[in-house]
Amino acid sequence: MIVTNDVHMHFRQGLWGRQVRALNGMSLQVNEGDFFALVGQNGAGKSTAMYCLLGLLRPTSGSISVMGQQPMLGSDLYRDVAYLPEEPHYHLYMTVEEAVRYYASLYGARVSSQSVSASLEQLGLAQFKTLPLSKCSKGMKQKVGIAQCLIHETRLLFLDEPTRGLDPLVVREFRETLREIHRRGATIVMNSHVLSEIEMLANRVAILEAGKVVAQDDLANLTTLNRELYTVAFEGNGTAPEYLSGAVKTGDIIRGNIPKERLFDFMELARVHDLVVHECSLRRNSLEDSFFRIIRGGESQTDGSKRTEARS
Amino acid sequence: MTELFKANFVADLIYFRRSRLLLGFALVFLLLISLSIMPSLFAASGVQKFNILVQIVESLHFFTQIFAAALALMVVSSHLRNRSLKMVFTKPCTPALWLASAFAAAIAVILAISITVLVCSLGLSFCWHLSVKTGLLFSALDNLIASVGTLVYVALMAMLLHPAIAVIVVLVFNANTFYGAQFQMLALMRAGNSSTTLRVLERMFHYLYLIAPVFHAFEDKTSTVVSSLRVTHGEWRYLAYSLGYVLVLSAFCYCVALFALQRKRHI
C-alpha cells in the first residue's frame, strides 16, 4: 500500500538559517489492511513523514509510493484517501453539515443529503449540524473529518495525532469509529505519542528517531513475552521476598516481577506464609518498554528490518 | 470536475457571505458614500440631478473596484493562513481547480454588485425622469472589467506576499504610480535639468509603467463617457480592448498564482 525508500527531508530555517534534517533516510512499508502507527519522540519526524506520504511536502530525496503512485497535491490518488490533521485546520466559516458535505463532495461525486444526514446521525452530530465549525470543540471537528470517511468509503486513512486534546469519553467513541472503519477494510496510518492507545488499535508499528525508522514490526512482535521474568500479584501481609523487583503496593496487594529461576522459591514462600496469589504469569513487554529499549538502546533499522523479515 | 468546481465555488460564496470583515468593510464604505452624496440629493433641477447620478455611479464603481480587491485578498490570504487548503489538496481536487473556483466566485460576486449598481442607476434615471444613457451600461461594463483586473492582481499578490505587504505593493506597483513618476521626471528635464540620473530614472519609470498592471486600461480614451454618460460608436471598441487586456492579465496572474500555490507548503 505504501512504500518509502531512503526519504530525506531537509528544511532551511529562514532564508539564511541552518538546515534542519527532518527526515534522514526514512524507509517504511505499510501493507494493505494494516492499522499502522508511527511513534517517536517530539521532533522525531512523525508529522513530516505523514506530510510527505500525503504529498503536502516534497522530499529532498528518496522515493515514496502510495498505492503505486507518487503523491501529488490533488491527484487522482486521493480518491481513496482521507486525512485528519493534527490541528483542526478546517473551513471554520462553514457549519458542521456544510463542511461534511463540502469535504465529501471534494471526492468528485454527488453527495446526497441522506448520506450526509446518516453520517451525522451515526457520529452524534445531527443536533449540531447548523453549528459553525469555529464554535465546535476539537472532538466535534474530528468527527466532521471522520464523517467524510463514512460517506465516501476510504481505502487509506491518515490520522495525525488524532486524540490529542480530546476528553476520555470522546477518545473512546473515536477509537470505536476507527475500529469500525478498519473493519470495513480501510488501511489506517496514524501517528501518536499515546503508546497505550497504539497498543489498543495498531497491528504494525514503526518507531522513528531523528528522522529515521529505527524499528518496524508487528505490534505482537514488539510486545512479546519476556521469558526471563514473571509478574506476580499477591496479598502480602508485610512479607515481600528480596528478589521481587519493581514492587508496587496497592491496598493489600503487592505486584512485582520475579526472575524465572526464583519462581519455585516464590511458590514455597507463598505456601509457607499462606499468601493469597492473585496472579503469576510470564511478563509481557508493553509497547512503552519496547519503545524505550529501542530508543535508549539505539537498535538499528537493519536489526528491525532483519527481525521483521525473519518473522515474515 | 464540474462537481468539484461547484463544491469549491459554493464554499467560497459561503465564505464571502459569512465574512464579517467584508460585510463591515462594505457597510462602512457605503455609509461614507451615502454621507458624501446626501446633501446633493436635495437638488431640484434636471442638470443637478444628472450630476448627482454621475457622482453616485462613480462612487459605486469605485466601491466595486475596492471591494473586488478586498474579496481577492480575503479569499486567498484567509485560506492560506488558516491552512485549510490541506483538507482540499489531500482530496482529488487540484490547486488549479481550487484557484479557478476562487477567482470565479469572487468575479461572480463582483458581477452581481455591478448588475445591482447598474439597476440602481437605471432606477434613479427613471425616478428622476432623466433619459436613460448608454453610458450607464458602458461605464458599468468598463468598471466590471477594471474590477476583475484589480481582483486578479490583488489575488496574485496575496498568494505571493503577506496580505498587508500585498496591499502596499498593489498600491505602489501599478501603472498610475510610474506614469506620475515618469511625468515628473519629464517635467524636470523640460525645465532644463538634463542630468544622466534623471534620464535613467525617466527611462526606468517608463519601462516600469509599461510592465505594471493598469487598473483602467484606455481610461484616457473613455474619460468623457463617465462625465457625460454618452458613448460614441468608436468608444465601444476600447471596451473590447480593455477586456482583451484584462483577459491577458488574468491569465498571467492565474498562472503565476498557481505556480506559487503549488510550491507553497500547506502544512
The 10s digit of each residue's pLDDT in A50-105 is 999 998 988 999 999 999 888 988 888 888 898 888 777 888 899 999 999 999 88
Q: How far is A65 from chain B (nearest CA, A)?
A: 15
Query: Whole-prediction pTM value?
Result: 0.83
Q: Which residue has the higher pLDDT, A264 or A236?
A: A264
Q: Is B96 exposed, middle or buried (0-12, 13-18, 19+ CB in 10 A)?
A: middle
Report residue A189's pLDDT band, with 50, 70 and 90 as the boundaries: very high
Chain B residues lying within 8 Å of A92, measured CB to CB: 82, 84
Q: Do B98 and A74 touch (CB under 8 A)?
A: yes
Looking at mean pLDDT, say which of A105-109, B66-70, B130-134 comes out highest: B66-70
Looking at mean pLDDT, say which of A157-171, A285-299, B77-91, B122-136 comes out highest: B77-91
According to the model, what pLDDT value does residue A303 have?
40
> pLDDT tens digit string along A13-52?
777 777 888 898 899 999 999 999 998 888 888 889 999 9
Question: In chain A, which residue's Cα lies nearest the Cα of B96?
Answer: A74
From chain B residues 233-252, the ones with a CB under 8 A of any chain A CB are none
Predicted-complex ipTM score:
0.84
Chain B residues lying within 8 Å of A110, measured CB to CB: 3
Please determine, for residue B263, whether its predicted confidence score (pLDDT) is greater than 80: yes
> Of A124, A184, A176, nearest to A154 (Cα)?
A184
Which percentage of chain B shows pLDDT scores above 90? Answer: 52
Please determine, for residue B13, whether its predicted confidence score (pLDDT) is greater than 90: yes
Q: Do B97 and A74 touch (CB under 8 A)?
A: yes
Strands A253-259 and A225-235: antiparallel
According to the model, what pLDDT value does residue A310 have?
34
What's the rounded Cα separation, in Å, for the pair A124 and B214?
Answer: 53
Decide if A15 contacts A5 (C-beta within 8 A): no
Q: Does B91 touch chain A (CB under 8 A)?
A: yes
In this complex, which of B7, B82, B92 lies closest to A76 when CB atoms are compared?
A: B92
From chain A residues 59-88, the ones with a CB under 8 A of any chain B CB are 73-79, 81-83, 85, 87
Q: Do B98 and A93 touch (CB under 8 A)?
A: no
What's the rounded Cα separation, in Å, for the pair B22 and B85?
Answer: 21
Mean pLDDT of chain B: 89
Phi/psi at A254 (5° precision): -105, 130
State the Cα angle at B224 between B221 and B225, rounded to 5°. 95
According to the model, what pLDDT value does residue A298 have?
52
Which percentage of chain A shows pLDDT scores above 70? Answer: 93
Report residue A306's pLDDT band, with 50, 70 and 90 as the boundaries: very low
According to the model, what pLDDT value does residue B203 have?
92
Domains of chain A, by residue range, sit at 2-222, 225-284
According to the model, what pLDDT value does residue B265 have?
83
> pLDDT tens digit string along B32-77?
888 877 777 776 677 888 888 888 888 899 999 999 999 999 999 9
- Of A33-37, B49-53, B187-191, B248-252, minimum mean pLDDT range: B49-53
The CATH H-level superfamily of A2-222 is P-loop containing nucleotide triphosphate hydrolases (3.40.50.300)
> pLDDT tens digit string along A134-170?
898 888 888 888 887 778 878 899 988 888 777 788 7
Please determine, for residue B145, whether its predicted confidence score (pLDDT) is greater than 90: yes
Kindly state the average pLDDT of the residues B251-262.
94
Phi/psi at A206 (5° precision): -120, 135
Q: Does A11 touch chain B (CB under 8 A)?
A: no
Chain B residues lying within 8 Å of A93, measured CB to CB: 14-15, 18-19
From chain A residues 122-181, the ones with a CB under 8 A of any chain B CB are 132, 158
In this complex, which of B7, B83, B266 lies closest to A106 when CB atoms are compared?
A: B7
Please determine, for residue B28, whether its predicted confidence score (pLDDT) is greater than 80: yes
Chain B residues lying within 8 Å of A55, measured CB to CB: 89-90
According to the model, what pLDDT value does residue A225 have?
63
Q: Which residue has the higher pLDDT, B97 or B1?
A: B97
Q: Do B90 and A51 touch (CB under 8 A)?
A: no
State the Cα angle at A91 between B74 and B14, rounded to 5°. 65
